[in-house]
A and B are shown apart, each in its own frame.
Chain A
Amino acid sequence: MRRLWLPAGFVALIVLIAAAAPLLPLMDPVRQDVANRLVAYLPGSPMGRDEFGRDVMSRLIWGARSSLAVAFASAAIAAVIGTALGLLGGWFRGLAEVLAIRGADVVLCFPPVLLALLVVTLLGPGTGTLILVLSVLYLPGFIRVSFAEVLSARSQDYVEAVRALGARTPRILLRTVLPNIAGPVLVQVSLAVASAVVLESGLSFLGLGVVPPTPSWGLMIRGARATMEQAPMLLLWPCLALTATILAMNLLCDAVRDVADKRGGGGAPKLRLVDRLLPGLFPAPAAPRPLLDVQGLTVEIAVPGGIIRPVEDMSFRLDTGRTLAIVGESGSGKSMAATAIMGLLPPAARVADGVARFDGEDLLRMPEAARRKLRGGAMAMVFQDPMSSLNPVHRVGDQVAEAIRAHRDVPAAKASAEAVGLLKRVGIADPDRRARAYPHELSGGMRQRVMIAMAIANKPRLLIADEPTTALDVTVQAAILDLLADLRREEGMGLVLITHSLGVVAEVAEDVVVMYAAQVVERGPVSQVFANPLHPYTRALLAAVPDGDIEPEGIPGVVPRPDRWPPGCRFAPRCTFATEACETPPPLEEVQGQAVRCVRWRELRA
C-alpha cells in the first residue's frame, strides 16, 4: 500500500489544483495586458506573462483543467467501451469477436491526425470534439488488450470452476474475468491518459483542439513557440507540467496494478529462490576415488529478510557406473544442490561452503571457463521439462549436432551423422526423419529422448537428471528409465537422479539420499533404507506412497519455508515421535553404511 501514496498524492495534487482553479487567487487567464507582454517576472505573476501579457501561472493552472479533462474523459470513455467490447468479443467469440476486433482494426488503419482533421471538419473544433476523437483513437488499444486477456483467462481452471458452479455469464465476466484482466487494462489506461495529454496538446497546437483563448497546455506551447527566442521560459512551463503529469500518471497506474494484484507479488520469486537442496557428507574415503564426492555443500541466497540456505551441509558420493537418487518433497533443496554442482546456480544464489570433487577436481572452485568445458562434455544434465530446454526454432538433429560441436572439433556433416546415430541410440524410431523435426512436432517422451541424446553426445562420465520423467506418462517414464539404466551400464556413467517418486528410486537407484528442508536426513543403499528406514521422515514418506494393501498415510503439515526453519530438528513439528530432545539440531550419524539425522533413531528402531 505504501507504494501507492506518493504517486497517488502527486496525481491528486495536480487534479486538485486544476479543479480548484476558480477558487485560487489567480489572475484572469484570458485578460490581456500588452504593456507587460513577455516579461519574465511581475509581482503576482511568478512565471511571467505571455505574448499577450496574460499571466502564465494562471494559464498553466486553467490549462490543466482543459488538458486533464480531455485526457481523463477520453481515456475513461475508451477504457469502458473498449474493455466491454473486448470482454464480449473474447468471451462469445464468433460475431462479437468479428465486430469488436475488425472494428478496432479499421480505426487503427486511420492516421490519427487525419481522423482528427476529419472529425473537426465535420463537427467544428472544441473540447467535446477532442474528447470524441481521442476516445475513438484509444478504443482499439483497450479492445485488443482486453480481448487477448479474456482469451487467456477463459481457458483457466478457475473460470471453468465458476462456470461449473452454474454462474450466469454476466457474473462470470464481471466477478471473475474482469478482475483478472484489470492489470493490463489499468496499464493501458495510464498510457492512454498520458498520451491523450500529449495528443491534446499536439492537436491544440495544430489548431484542431481547444479553441483560443481558452487556455490549454498545447495552446501555450503553440504560443510560446513563436516567441521562443525572446522568452524561452514560456515553453518550459507547459512542457514541465506535461512531463510531470504524465510521469505521475504512469507511476500511479503501476502502483494501482501492483496493489490490485492479490496474487502476492513477493511470494512467487521467493518461492523460486527458495527451491531446493542436496544431501549429506562423509569423511573422505580412502580408495578408490569416487566419481563425484560432495562434502558439506551449502548454498546461500540473500533475500530481503536475510540469508536463507536452500542447501545445507550436504554430502554424498557416487562411484562410476552407479545410480544415486536424491529424494525429497518440493522445497527440500534437491534441485538447487544439483544446479550448484553443475555451476548453474541462479545469480542470486551462491555456494557458501563445501567441495564437490569430480574425478578429484573441485567443481565449486574451478574457473567458470574450465567448468564450461566439463558441462556437456564429461558431465551433463537432463531437466524435467524438455520443451523449455530445447530451442523451438531449430531442428532437433541440428541441436544434437551443435552439442557435439560445442565440445569436439568435428566437421558439420560428421556431427549431423553422429546426431542421427545418437537419436537412434536413445530409441527414436526413424531417426533420419526425426532429426529434421522441430521440437513441437515431437511427443513429450521423444523430446526427453532428444535431451538425453544431447546429454550423452560427448560420452559424459556423470549424468545428473533432474526429475527427468515427472512430466511424462508412466509407460513413457518406464521406457526412459530403462534407457537411462542401459546407458549407465553400457557407457559406465555415474547417474544422479533427482526425483520425488520413491517408486522410481526403488526401481532404478542403488543408493539414496533423503532430503528434508535443505538437510540430508537419511542416506544409504536403497534396499537397506527402504527396508529399514531409520529416520521418521523417511518412514512417513514411505507410508504415504499408495503401494500394497495398506492405506497410505499423509504427513500432517507442510515443509516449512526456509526463513522459518525450526531451530532444532526441522522435521520435529510434523513428526509423531518428537520430544524435547528434538529442540536441539541433531547431527548426521553413521550406522552400518547408513546415515541418519535423528536423535531418537536408536530407540525408534527398537
Chain B
Amino acid sequence: MSEPLVVAERVEMTFAPRGIFALGKPVRAVAGVDATVARGEALGVVGESGSGKSTLGRVLLGLLAATGGAVRFDGMVLPKPGSAAWRALRARMGIVFQDPFGSLDARRTIGAQVEDGLAIHTSLSAAERRAQLTEMFVRVGLDPQRLDAYPHEFSGGQRQRLGIARALATNPDFLVADEPVSALDVSIQAQVVKLLAELRRDLGLAMLFISHDLPVVRHLCDRVIVMYLGRVMEEGPVAEVFARPLHPYTRALLSATPMLDPARRLTREILPGEPPSPSDPPSGCVFRTRCRHVRPECAETVPPLREFGSLAHRVACIRADEIN
C-alpha cells in the first residue's frame, strides 16, 4: 500500500517570544504529534482551546514550518514557506476557517476572492475562470448570479460555503477545515456539515476536520485524534473512540458534551482545576494534574501512544489497562 497523502512524524511547533524585550517562555503548541491522513479520508482533531489543534492543522498545511519532526505531503517533505515549490503546493491544499466574517475580505467581490486560486495557479483565461467559478458555486449551493456581490450581502452559512468554494477552487487533494461550523446556528451547521460530507465523497478529498464539537466529528470523520496541551491522548476510528473512550480525558470530554437524549447521557465528570499553561506543561503525562486516576509514576515519563484492544485504537495512558 502506498504512503498516506499526509504524514506527520513527531511534529513539534514551538512559538518563541519575539522582539528585543521579549519576555516569557516559548510556548510549545504541538509536542511530538504523529498523524496521517490517507487519500479520501477524513481525520477529526478534537480538543479544547489551547490543545494545539489549529496549530497542528496549519503545520500539516505547511503554513507554519514545524520546529521539529517532519511533515510529508504526497511523499515529499513540505518545502519552506514562501518558496516557489511551497507556493505551487498551495494549489493542492485548501483551508476553511472558523469565522465566516473575518475570513472573507469585505472589500472585494466574492467572485474575485473565490477566483484567486485559479488566477494564481492556472493560466486560464478570465472567461474560463468564470466558467469554473460558476460550476464551483453551483457545487457548494450558491447562486452563480451573485459572483459580483460583496461578502456582507451573505449570511453566515452562505459565507462558510464561499470559504469552502475558495478552498476548493483549485481542486486540491487535501482540505483542512478549522472549526468550520462552530460559529453557525445549529440549523445551518447541519447544512454545512452535509455539504462537506458530499464534497469529500464526490471529490475524493482528504480532510483534516478540526473541531471541539464531538458529535459533529462523529458524523463526518473516519478517524479521530484527541489532543490535550499539544499532545495526542487518544486516536482511533470514530465509532470506537466514541463508544469505548480509553483515555480519562476523552471520557471527561464526552461526558461534558450536552446530549439531547437522556438515555445517551454519561455521568458528568467535571475536571478539577484549570488547564495548565502551554508554556509550562506538567512533566510526564500532561493531563495528570486534572486526572482522577493519577499516580505518582504519571509524572515521570511521557506516556507513549500504544495500541489497545483493536489495532487502530491507540491511547497515551500508562494506566489504560487498569482503568478500562
Contacts and interface: CB of A to CB of B under 8 A. Distances in A.
A506 B187 contact: no
Given A160-B97, A329-B187, A166 B105 contact: no
Nearest to B108: A179
A592 interface: no
Contact of A474 (B97, B256, B264): B256
A109 interface: no
A264 B104 CA distance: 13
Contacts of A502: 186, 260
Interface in B92-114: 93-95, 97-99, 102-108, 113
Given A179-B105, A546-B215, A553-B190, A263 B185 contact: no
B185 A556 contact: no
A162 B102 CA distance: 13
Interface residues of B, number: 76
B117 to A, nearest CB: 5
B194 interface: yes
B17 to A, nearest CB: 14
B262 interface: yes
A475 B258 contact: no
Interface stretch (A33-41, A70-78, A439-447, A580-588): A439-447
B63 A554 contact: no
A552 B190 contact: yes
Interface stretch (B31-39, B125-133, B268-276): B268-276
Interface string A38-64: 000000000000000000000000000
Contacts of A474: 48, 212, 214, 253, 256-258
B89 interface: yes
B283 interface: no
Interface string B163-174: 100110010000
B134 interface: no
Contact of A176 (B105, B117, B214, B274): B105
Nearest to B141: A556
Given A263-B107, A507-B259, A157 B99 contact: yes
Contact of A179 (B107, B121, B185): B107
B257 A503 contact: yes
Interface string B45-64: 00011000000000001010
Nearest to B239: A549
Interface in B52-99: 61, 63, 82, 86-91, 93-95, 97-99
B19 to A, nearest CB: 9
A85 B323 CA distance: 61
6 contacts: A262-B106, A263-B152, A478-B256, A547-B259, A551-B219, A556-B191
Interface of B: 48-49, 61, 63, 82, 86-91, 93-95, 97-99, 102-108, 113, 116-117, 120-121, 150-153, 155-158, 163, 166-167, 170, 185-194, 212-216, 218-219, 252-253, 255-262, 264-265, 268, 270-271, 273-275
Given A164-B90, A554-B191, 18 more contacts: A157-B98, A162-B105, A166-B87, A168-B120, A263-B152, A264-B106, A329-B187, A478-B270, A479-B271, A507-B258, A541-B186, A544-B190, A545-B260, A546-B193, A546-B219, A547-B259, A555-B191, A559-B185
Q: What 8 A-B pairs have minimum CB-CB distances, sorted nearest first?
A: A166-B90, A503-B258, A554-B191, A264-B152, A554-B190, A478-B256, A157-B103, A555-B187
